[in-house]
Amino acid sequence: MATLNLFSQPWQPTISPFCCSNTNNNNNVVYAYHNHNNSKLHFFSNSRQFSVLSQLSTNSSKSVSGSSGLQNSSFVSGIEYRKRPLYSVFPTKPAQVSSVEDLYEFICSGPLLDKIGITQEQVAESIDNWLLYGRYLCRLFQLNELFLTEPQKARIYHYYVPVFLWCEQQITEHQSKFKDGEDIPPLVIGFSAPQGCGKTTLVFALDYLFEVIGRKSATVSIDDFYLTAEGQNKLREANPGNALLELRGNAGSHDLAFSVETLTALTKLTREGMKLKLPRYDKSAFNGRGDRADPSTWSEVEGPLTVVLFEGWMLGFKPLPVDAVKVVDPQLETVNKNLEAYYDAWDKYIKSWIVIKIKNPNCVFQWRLQAEIAMREAGKPGMTDDEVRDFVSRYLPAYYAYLPTLYSEGPNGSDPQHLLTIEIDEGRNPILAT
């Protein structure tokens, strides 16, 4: 088992061990650091157990909207390491601690290890990294790493960290194809997942981890490429009576030329000083019908980018024979025709894919309803149950038509060697494939 040292990364300061009064007991060796930002001494052992006396500061975390970037490893800069007598910092009651061996066994029980090609031996060798990434994610989501619930622990160590490690593998392989001195375009990783299943939170977590290890990343959603309000009105007028094209969402409601322009520009951000403003969509405009946000509000990314995280509910959908979609819903015929142009606008830019698989599209309604109820309980505007049902009903025909092919054949134009399929349960956690 590797030594437990949460700061063992080469880009982190080295922490020196010191012993407590009983120098003959090697189990009492601990590592400690003093953080001047909160004037508290944190400590953890280098063997079986570790403890953190206070939650980490979240002042430098990104907002969920992604509008503010994290300063790389900014929270590390204010830490000074020094030897301190341990008797002065032990709590008066025994601290609850987490066994490294227990956590190792929990990690190895995860459903994604085989999928990402990591053995239990490799987990043992890299346990420091698992703990470090888990600690960062606890900090991001304001969780106490010593008091994680089982669902929280599963979300971090069975889901987010394994997916991050897979993305790192994909980036390494992508970069190996280029010679020294060549400009390396960022790897575009596509996330195809139904609405409400947690893909935005997953991408948010991955983007954060990339930043704290020093990689420049950008996130973009298919929502950012919706037609303007004017364009949406024209689409609706051109398709009277088609409920699937009355509002934004389905194929045909996106500005594909704008998509090509943006994605092409992103893949060219290979050098220092190159910048690009990422488009954003305002879903609240025009009483919820939406419109492209004012460019002055768009966030800016700067090269050289290492990775682009591109997410959307219909990424990778393939057009089907007309009869196949008409059986699901006759209104899909026009949507299916529109879908023919989406490979060149979106999918061809994606070199690695993550597909989040669900057993029943009806979960989308339950997940959306949960989100709206939470918004209403928080005193924010939210859709009624009937409005949620109407909203989701405009997407369900596409799910029923295209998900079976997506799951059996992979996304449009994808390489099976660069595809990770993750099946999740109703709690949005990965499960073993059946």
Tell me the CATH number at 270: 3.40.50.300
Quote the radius of gyration of the chain (alpha carbons, Å): 24
Last residue of a domain, one of 142, 158, 174: 158
Residues 310 and 399 in one domain: yes
Q: CB within 8 A of 173, min separation 6: which ones?
A: none
Residues 310 and 192 in one domain: yes
Domain presence at residue 52: no
Cα gap 424→151, rounded to integer Å: 13
Q: Are 399 and 364 in contact (CB under 8 A)?
A: yes
Residues 299 and 194 in one domain: yes
In the block, which residue shows the tokens 């992604």? 66
Q: CB within 8 A of 194, min separation 6: which ones?
A: 313, 356, 358, 361, 363, 364, 399, 403
Strand, coil or helix: 242: coil
Residues 199 and 152 in one domain: no
- CA dihedral of residues 391, 397, 401, 407 (deg, nearest 10): 30
Cα gap 272→301, rounded to integer Å: 11
Residues 144 and 223 in one domain: no
Residues 143 and 205 in one domain: no
Confidence (pLDDT) at 238: 96
Among 311, 284, 248, smallest CA distance to 66 is for 311
Range of the domain at 291: 182-431
Backbone angles phi, psi at 150, to 5 degrees: -60, -45
Cα gap 352→407, rounded to integer Å: 15
Domain presence at residue 5: no
For residue 395, CA distances in Å to 287, 325, 359, 391 come to 20, 13, 16, 8
Domain presence at residue 41: no
Domain presence at residue 372: yes
**DSSP conformational letter for 111:** T
Cα gap 178→101, rounded to integer Å: 40
Strand, coil or helix: 254: strand
Cα gap 19→83, rounded to integer Å: 9
Split into its structural domains, the chain has a count of 2
Residues 134 and 197 in one domain: no
Domain presence at residue 71: no
pTM to 2 decimal places: 0.77
Residues 150 and 285 in one domain: no
Digit-coded pLDDT (tens) for 71-112:
233 333 322 222 233 323 333 443 344 578 889 999 999 999
Domain presence at residue 81: no
Instruction: Give the CA count within 13 Å in the CB-facing half-sphere of 168.
Output: 17
Residues 147 and 202 in one domain: no
Last residue of a domain, one of 126, 158, 190: 158
Residues 113 and 234 in one domain: no
For residue 111, CA distances in Å to 44, 114, 155, 163, 224 come to 29, 7, 12, 11, 32
Measured in whole angstroms, the distance separating CA 248 from the mean position of its chain's CA atoms is 24
Residues 129 and 212 in one domain: no
Residues 296 and 425 in one domain: yes
Digit-coded pLDDT (tens) for 425-434:
988 889 875 4
Low-confidence stretches of the chain (pLDDT beneath 70): 1-98, 433-434
DSSP string, 39-100: TEEEEEESSSEE--SSPPP-TTPPPTT--SPPPTTGGGTTEE-----GGGTS-SSPPP-EEH
One-letter amino acid for residue 114 of the chain: D
Among 421, 429, 428, smallest CA distance to 115 is for 421
Domain presence at residue 388: yes
Domain presence at residue 297: yes
